[in-house]
Amino acid sequence: MESNCRIPMACCRPRVLVLHALFWGLVSLRVFGAALLGDEKTTALKAHVAPCWLLEDFVVATECSLCNAFQTRSWSACEATGYVERVNCTRSNRDEYKSCRSAVLEEHLFWKFEAAMLALTASFAILVVIRQRSLDRLASEKVRRQIESI
């Protein structure tokens, strides 16, 4: 049976093509739909609630500190990172709270990342050495068999 299809016969069946089209259609719908819904939500948020520190210059009145249990439950600024700082907007002269990232927490996360990368490096180096020894053993066995056959 001769076919004009350049890919294997299993991929030319109509059922497989329909399944591929359905899968990629759902994937694209999910991706583009999420992007569209995400844009609508952010524009709606920006239109209703725009903190002064997003629109004008500000001065940090209180440095970044850990939110307590009450602040975490009641302040929206504490939800993102668990840390908050008080800022004073210069033009409107309002005090507002802004979510921030703690330097101590960032340093801790950095060192955890470094440790994970070091562990991955060591494990992959060991895997490379093991694989190289295995390939060397196979090559020497092949050479040995060739010499014995002469």
pLDDT(55) > 50: yes
> Is 34 within a domain?
yes
pLDDT(79) > 60: yes
Instruction: Transcribe the chain into DSSP letters.
Output: ---S-SS-GGGGSHHHHHHHHHHHHHHHHHHHHHHHHHHHHHHHHHHH---HHHHS-EEEEEEEEE--HHHHHH-THHHHHSEEEEEEETTT--EEEEE---HHHHHHHHHHHHHHHHHHHHHHHHHHHHHHHHHHHHHHHHHHHHHHH-
> Is 85 within a domain?
yes
Range of the domain at 66: 53-101
Give the pTM: 0.46
> Is 16 within a domain?
yes
Say what the pLDDT of residue 1 is.
Answer: 46
Same domain, 33 and 70: no
Mean pLDDT of 1-19: 59
> Is 108 within a domain?
yes
If you search the block for the tokens 């002269």, which residue do you land on? Answer: 93
**Could you give the number of structural domains in the chain?**
3
Same domain, 65 and 84: yes
The band of 114, judged by pLDDT with boundaries at 50, 70 and 90, is very high
Same domain, 38 and 72: no
Same domain, 91 and 58: yes
